[in-house]
Amino acid sequence: KPRLDGNAVISFSGVGQIKLGMTLAEARKAARRTIVAGQEVTKDCRHDRLFPRRWGLDTLRFKTKIRVLYVTRTAMPTRRGIRVNDTLAELQEAYTSGLTERPSDVSPTTRIFELQGTGGREMQFSVNSQTSRIFQIATGLRPEVDFSEGCA
């Protein structure tokens, strides 16, 4: 099986070989990559980091299962080729239908655009309202994907 690489695609099911709902051990085996387990942030909730760090891939794990995958660097695209640092206009062009903006309680400069999948799956694009560029792409399961500060 190939190792997870920087071209892994972000989809409603996960990122490349790492699927939502996997345990950390399953994700490590599927990706054949180092994933450093995070400390518990709030009860049963952790953030883990995949290496190499330059890909900017982190998880939110609740109890033992990966519920959200966060991408914060340009490496990994969505199926329609959208990456971190792309513009809001490019995002809206790639996903002409189905993209909805939801209020952001993170900061006044963050806009959040959602795509709904099936079975409680969702992709979220966080956009800096001053630069109009995507700074994070998250794929995950509700309700955790809607936690604006992750486990906090």
Q: How far apart are CA 133 and CA 152, in angstroms?
A: 25
Strand 121-128 relative to strand 110-116: parallel, antiparallel, unpaired?
Answer: antiparallel
Take residue 24 and report the two structure tokens written for it. 């950390």
72, pLDDT greater than 90: yes
| 13 confidence band (pLDDT: 50, 70, 90) | very high
Task: Give pLDDT, residue 103.
Answer: 79
> What's the maximum distance between 2 C-alpha atoms anywhere in the chain?
43
Name which of 102, 130, 19 is nearest 65 in CA terms: 19
Q: How far apart are CA 20 and CA 26, in angstroms?
A: 11
- The tens digit of pLDDT for each residue in 33-63 reads 999 999 999 999 999 999 999 999 999 999 9
Q: How far apart are CA 72 and CA 32, in angstroms?
A: 20
Report the residue count for the chain. 152
pTM to 2 decimal places: 0.96
Name which of 12, 115, 77, 104 is nearest 86 in CA terms: 77
Q: How far apart are CA 74 and CA 99, in angstroms?
A: 20
Is residue 105 within 8 A of residue 99, CB to CB? The reply is: no
Expressed in angstroms, the distance from the first to the final Cα of the chain is 35
Return the half-sphere exposure (C-beta side, CA atoms, 13 A cut-off) of residue 118: 0
